[in-house]
Amino acid sequence: MEKLKGVLCAPKFDEATEYSYKWAERLREQIGNRMDIILLLISDAVRDKVEKALKENPDAMLIHYNHGEEDALIGQDTRPVVDLGNVNLLRATI
């Protein structure tokens, strides 16, 4: 059976994201080798890198540990990594 793929996006730029970043680290430890994970951590947790990872891995799920808005997920630069302009990169894989 083929492993699930995931894109783990975990910025760390304020008190709340420092806390959620620790949860992302714990998730990585728990997953181990059971899932193929593309890590987009801290400075890599930005829109262009998230878009690239999702385009290159269309069957990957996005795992996002950070702030969000009603219509966006926020990255390291406090700008959206996913919003209504690129939500089409997300799709159901299960």
Q: pLDDT tens for residues 40-70?
A: 999 999 999 999 999 999 999 999 988 999 9
Percent of the chain scoring above 70 in pLDDT: 96
* pLDDT level of residue 92 (50, 70, 90 thresholds): low
Q: What global pTM score does this model have?
A: 0.90
Distance separating alpha carbons of residues 6 and 9, to the nearest angstrom: 9
Where b means 16+ CB within 10 Å and e means fewer, 32-62 reads eeebebbebbeebbbbebbeebbeeeeebbb
CA–CA gap between residue 75 and residue 59 (Å, rounded)? 21
Token pair listed for 77 = 């630069």
How far is 59 from 68, CA to CA, in rounded Å? Answer: 23
